[in-house]
Structure 1
Amino acid sequence: MNKDLNHGRLLANRYQLSDLVGEGAMGKVYRARDTILGGVTVAVKFLSQALLNDNMRERFEREATISALLGEKSIHVVRVKDYGVDKNNIPFYVMEFLSGASFNEVIRFNPLTLDRFLTLIRHVCLGLESAHQGIDLNGELCRIIHRDIKPSNIIVVQDPTLGEVAKILDFGIAKLIQASANQTQSFMGTLAYCSPEQMEGQELDNRSDIYSLGVMMYEMLTMDMPLLPQNSSFGGWYQAHHNFKPEPFSHQLQIPEKLQTLVLRCLAKAREDRPQSVREILNILESLESLESIPIDHITNPSNLLIHDDQTQVAVDKTLNTESSITEICLQTTWPQNKPLRKIVFAQLISTPLGEAPVLCVMLDQEDIHNRIASICYNQFLYLNYPHPMLLWITLLYNAEHGPKWLSCYLDLKSNKGQQISRSLSEQGKYRILFYALNQSSRCQHVASSVINAQNRKMLEQWANLSQVTRSVGDVTLAKEILKTELEKLKDKILSKVKQSKLTDASSG
């Protein structure tokens, strides 16, 4: 066996190459140590010597540029850190080293559970959306079409902060859509995942990636391909993508009908029949994530009082891998010195690697905290725009043995803090509840997480926007009293619904 001459080589007086970890049509990828940054592991990709011409050099440099700029926008795209040419005049670029499994490996033996599917495909969609929205290249907004979305180009890594994260790889054949450029028309991609228009060599837009995404989603859910050609030639796949209907989903898989419809829409032959943007897909995925929530009927209320509700079961932090590190941050969060040591509830934003996260801080007796860990959590939001824009954020913890625990928090939506928290709840779609014990306030005792569905997230944003243009004509205290009174009217109705849902769950179990 010939020894790899790159092994141990010091590249650009900085990157010490070790083993070859990947090889493809465009070139080779090596594991390396960044000697300047304390030996951090990176990946170095070289352009294949067989492709050393001006056109391929330009494409290779474009791949590095695209990945670098997209990596700044989204954590769901592999990040490029450096670019250069070695002493043999061979281009290379340096990217984060990703140790994980591709979607191919993840679904090799079993299809994904619905929860895991929704999490990972949402990551892919967020990365794709950042590409489709475009990057600023030399002062021009250039939208990017990946053109090769498939399971082998998505890797799942275990991030020390975020848990399980999906990232898009290989923008090697991505196309920049520039208004000022003449776009070439040629076929590039992987036959099984290509859109009909891609097979024809037509000019592509974001809807071609959405078709490829649909093929991949079908495969992730079923471990089968939606289309099977008569043979694996270009002509066979051309006929399949143009003329064959996708295989129907098996009823045994118990895939929600709404998700089946979404995947089949992505696989529409005509691009105008597909979802027109990744954001449209994300909105549907978010609604699927909150399918288990049980709505509480709206009640008759004053015309200036707006009510929205949401309820989800509290998820104990250790059951959510993706939140484990943020949970650790929450557990280390101390009770603020400017807050009294008594049984109160207040909201704040805490710093995490994902940015500012909204949390609800609660102080209870130690025994009460223990009693509430297994509770069901119901959320409701009441908004008042007159006499002063105010939001009442209600969390109900309930279990049959210990009864209800009402956690009420007022947000003044004319204040910067209230605006920030309301918008953060809307943007992130979830919040954490941090429990503190009266006699042990130095650290958080327990953390629970609760999800806000897409409809309520939209309402929170609308209320924040409305409050900015609504003039306060009364006292803040009066607004709080009105909301408190409305809550008292609602309590029996909420409890009735909670108990009924518990009985329904018990009977269905």
Structure 2
Amino acid sequence: MSDPNIGRLLGQRYQLQELIGTGAMGRVYRAKDILLGGVPVAVKFLSLSIQNKKMRLQDRFEREAKTCALLGQKSIHIVRVMDYGVDENNTPFYVMEYLQGDSLNQIIRQKNLSLPRFLSMARQISLGLKCAHDGIPVDGAIYPIIHRDIKPSNMLVIQDPSFGELVKVLDFGIAKLLQSNGDQTKYYLGTLAYSSPEQMEGKELDNRADIYSLGVMMFEMLTGEMPLVTPTHSFGAWYKTHHSQPPRTFAEVAPGLPIPQEVQNLIMSCLAKAPSDRPQSIGDILQVLESFLTGDKAVEDEMWQQFEK
């Protein structure tokens, strides 16, 4: 069945050309910006309508979109939002830079990352998160942003002529926006396998919830396996697992993989059940990652050779 959106002109400006992604948060189309001579852009329609939800949600959407636009200007590791609006069906949409690359999810599925590649990617993702957690000035106040849905499919890896392999984080602010209408405990949003215990409870989240999700993702990046497994993929099973099951260790999952103890310790600390037992800021994580990227050259070379064998 053909997609009725293909060929549609949005806001007298963006002509939708191809569906390039779908997910719980919405649908993404490649489009061209008619006003700028056909420059390619990505348009994301959010999976909610602000119909019958008064102006409060529309104001909230505009604030989230404005904040995400500012974030993308502040960090090269966050996908830039260039425009936003609400279509004739009252469905909110973002217009983002169009980037061709691979989802980190696809990359992990192909093969485990080498340690050098892991360190580079994890550092770039952490830099994007730090920028968001540090906050953006909006209307005279600092507005910190928690992502709430850190997972490999929300990381885009592109080949950049200046930077080489460049990682960008997608979908800042969207989970909170979608969750803002309704009872949080009844309307869970996120991805079960990556959600912190406090997110499963529907609590107000801080930066340490993203740190937990980052820990799950970093474990998966290095091993290709999840640190936590459940008998079924139900909310109840994941709730119990995140709250009471100790995460699997690197020795259990990948006994032959030579991962430095400091990196193992860092990732396992991110997976602590209590937020107070995790690294308290992304800066703490960056310190460890960067110590390997800028450490003693002879030790570094030897480690790289070991991983490239």
TM-score, with normalisation over the residues of structure 2? Answer: 0.86
Change (3 A) 1:145 1:70: same
Change (3 A) 1:116 1:174: farther
* Partner Cα distance (1:59, 1:111) in 2: 40
The structural deviation recorded for 1:188 is 2.6
Q: Secondary structure of 1:145's match?
A: coil
Q: 2:264 aligns to what?
A: 260
* Partner Cα distance (1:224, 1:22) in 2: 24
Q: Secondary structure of 2:167's match?
A: strand
Residue 13 in 1 paired to residue 12 in 2?
A: yes
Q: Structure 1 runs of 4+ off > 6 angstroms?
A: none
1:464-479 pair list within 5 angstroms: none
The structural deviation recorded for 1:41 is 0.8
Q: 1:273 aligns to what?
A: 277
* Partner Cα distance (2:209, 2:47) in 1: 28
The structural deviation recorded for 1:137 is 1.7
Residue 284 in 1 paired to residue 288 in 2?
A: yes
RMSD: 2.6
Unaligned runs of 5+ in 2: 178-182
Q: 1:173 aligns to what?
A: 175
Q: Secondary structure of 2:36's match?
A: coil
Q: Secondary structure of 2:190's match?
A: coil
| Amino acid aligned to 1:274 | R
Give the structure with the larger helix fraction: 2
Per-residue Cα deviation, 1:430-457 (whole angstroms, up to 9, x for no partner) = xxxxxxxxxxxxxxxxxxxxxxxxxxxx
* Native 8 Å contact 2:26 2:47 kept in 1: yes
Q: 1:378 aligns to what?
A: none
Change (3 A) 1:12 1:50: closer
| Amino acid aligned to 2:258 | Q
Change (3 A) 1:273 1:108: same
Q: 2:180 aligns to what?
A: none
Change (3 A) 1:27 1:241: closer
Q: 1:427 aligns to what?
A: none
The structural deviation recorded for 1:198 is 1.3
Q: 1:403 aligns to what?
A: none
* Partner Cα distance (2:296, 2:247) in 1: 28
Q: Secondary structure of 1:230's match?
A: coil
The structural deviation recorded for 1:204 is 1.4
Per-residue Cα deviation, 1:206-225 (whole angstroms, up to 9, x for no partner) = 11100000000000000111
Change (3 A) 1:74 1:230: same
Change (3 A) 1:257 1:40: same
Q: Secondary structure of 1:235's match?
A: helix
Q: 2:239 aligns to what?
A: 238
| Amino acid aligned to 1:276 | Q
The structural deviation recorded for 1:133 is 0.4
Per-residue Cα deviation, 1:112-139 (whole angstroms, up to 9, x for no partner) = 0001101111111001001100111221
| Amino acid aligned to 2:24 | A
* Partner Cα distance (1:81, 1:221) in 2: 34
The structural deviation recorded for 1:24 is 2.9
* Partner Cα distance (2:146, 2:131) in 1: 10
Stretch deviating more after TM superposition (214-223 or 241-250) = 241-250
* Partner Cα distance (1:209, 1:261) in 2: 18
> Quick one: higher RCO (CA 8 Å, sep 6+), 1 or 2?
2
* Native 8 Å contact 1:67 1:79 kept in 2: yes
Q: 1:227 aligns to what?
A: 228
Give the structure with the larger strand fraction: 1
The structural deviation recorded for 1:10 is 2.7
Change (3 A) 1:47 1:272: closer
Task: Report how many residues are paired.
Answer: 293
Which structure: larger Rg?
Answer: 1
| Amino acid aligned to 2:288 | I
Residue 33 in 1 paired to residue 32 in 2?
A: yes
* Native 8 Å contact 1:259 1:288 kept in 2: no
The structural deviation recorded for 1:89 is 4.5
| Amino acid aligned to 1:25 | A
1:190-201 pair list within 5 angstroms: 190-201=191-202
* Native 8 Å contact 1:194 1:211 kept in 2: yes
The structural deviation recorded for 1:185 is 5.2
1:383-398 pair list within 5 angstroms: none
The structural deviation recorded for 1:65 is 2.2
Per-residue Cα deviation, 1:351-390 (whole angstroms, up to 9, x for no partner) = xxxxxxxxxxxxxxxxxxxxxxxxxxxxxxxxxxxxxxxx
* Partner Cα distance (2:67, 2:39) in 1: 23
Change (3 A) 1:294 1:100: closer
Q: 1:293 aligns to what?
A: 297
Change (3 A) 1:26 1:222: closer
Q: 2:99 aligns to what?
A: 98
| Amino acid aligned to 1:173 | A
Q: Secondary structure of 2:265's match?
A: helix
Per-residue Cα deviation, 1:12-63 (whole angstroms, up to 9, x for no partner) = 3322221111223343221111223232210112244656443654554344
Unaligned runs of 5+ in 1: 176-183, 296-311, 314-500
| Amino acid aligned to 2:248 | E
* Partner Cα distance (2:259, 2:167) in 1: 22
* Partner Cα distance (1:48, 1:150) in 2: 19
The structural deviation recorded for 1:192 is 0.7
- Percent identity between the two aligned chains: 57
Change (3 A) 1:239 1:49: closer
| Amino acid aligned to 1:263 | I
1:366-377 pair list within 5 angstroms: none
Stretch deviating more after TM superposition (57-66 or 92-101) = 57-66
